[in-house]
Amino acid sequence: MAVDSVAIRDYVLLVYLSPLLSSIGSILDDPDSVGIDFEACDASVLLSEMPRSGQIAIERVRELSEDVWRCEVFASAISRVDLKRRVLVCAHEIRDAINQADQPAEMALSDGYADEAIATCADALTRAYDQSGREIKRIAAECSVEASLLFPAGCDRADVVNAFGYCPFTEKRIGTISTVELAELLRPYRDHFEPANEASKITTSTDFRSLRWSGAVYSFTANQAAVVKLLLENWESGTPDVGDETLLHAVDPESPPARLSTLFRDHPAWGAMIVAGGTKGTHRLAEPDDKNT
């Protein structure tokens, strides 16, 4: 039986992402523990009585930021566009919130205010949880379900070898995978998902009436949003050029607009974010920071 390499890759990524996303959500949901050195504490000591360290709080936040970055990198290689976008949007919001604590906490600690440094880190985790913590937990559960649907009995090592060309781990059946092993597994595919940093600049409202692209925020009518949604989905899947007719029919299959240029007349996104495709009669989203017209 032929191996579906896309399904294999998705499974490996989902198996990795599910516990990592769940761990991130749990950490965000417990900001009071951010500065505790659990290894130095007796298990019988009450949480409120455990010694706290400003330096440990800062290190924990930085470690969390790295874990969120890993989620962005690996999520960008998933073939399911909707799931990929949700992970990238949440990860970007979380990393942005917690990274705001780094410098203020470091300055407070250097001035001798360890409690202030801990409080700064804890506040950042609380903000991140309020923004996207619950959604991250939901996505973690969804990743686990999706992986189980793809391969209910697990993924055989031989299939991974067939899909990727090699497999860095020795287990016959792949369950959980360490960060190092997964990074090594996907190393030949880095070119396909290296733009995660660019993708993290892109956020949309749920109805695509508002979109942030390379720092610029664009607002759209309902008809324009239908086109933007289709363009973004194709851009994220690596097939950015979409026929004008297809885009116009996304607005109204029964009575589509006559031209895209008319639909986006005088709109700042036209020619900046929405540009001509590689062939006549197509359009695409420009690469972030690319202002081709």
Amino acid in position 196: A
The ranges assigned to domains in the chain are: 5-155, 201-285
Q: Which residues contact 238 (CB under 8 A, 6 or more apart)?
A: 192
pLDDT digit string, tens, across residues 283-293: 999 877 644 43
At residue 149, the pLDDT reads 86
Retrieve residue 182's tokens.
């997964």
At residue 173, the pLDDT reads 45
Q: Tell me what percent of the residues of the chain surpass a pLDDT of 70.
A: 77
pLDDT digit string, tens, across residues 135-177: 999 999 998 888 888 888 777 767 767 666 655 455 444 444 4
List of E strands, 80-140: none
CATH topology of domain 5-155: Four Helix Bundle (Hemerythrin (Met), subunit A) (1.20.120)
- Confidence label for 264 from pLDDT (cuts 50, 70 and 90): very high
Q: Distances in Å between the alpha carbon of 65 and those of 24, 146, 211?
A: 9, 25, 24
At residue 197, the pLDDT reads 42
- Confidence label for 184 from pLDDT (cuts 50, 70 and 90): low
What is the rounded CA–CA span in Å between residue 78 and residue 82?
10
Average pLDDT over residues 92-106: 88
At residue 199, the pLDDT reads 42
- Confidence label for 67 from pLDDT (cuts 50, 70 and 90): confident
* Average pLDDT taken over every residue of the chain: 79
54 versus 36: the higher-pLDDT residue is 54
**Class of 201-285 per CATH?**
mainly alpha
What is the rounded CA–CA span in Å between residue 225 and residue 204?
10
Average pLDDT over residues 76-100: 87
The angle formed by the CA atoms of residues 80, 85 and 91, to the nearest 5 degrees, is: 125
The angle formed by the CA atoms of residues 109, 115 and 119, to the nearest 5 degrees, is: 100
Closest CA to 67 of 114, 27, 34: 27
At residue 167, the pLDDT reads 57
- Confidence label for 260 from pLDDT (cuts 50, 70 and 90): very high
Angle formed by the axes of helices 5-28 and 114-128, to 10°?
130
Give the dihedral sign, CA 137/138/140/141: positive
Residue 216's region, left for phi above 0, alpha for psi from -120 to 50, else beta, is beta
At residue 224, the pLDDT reads 94
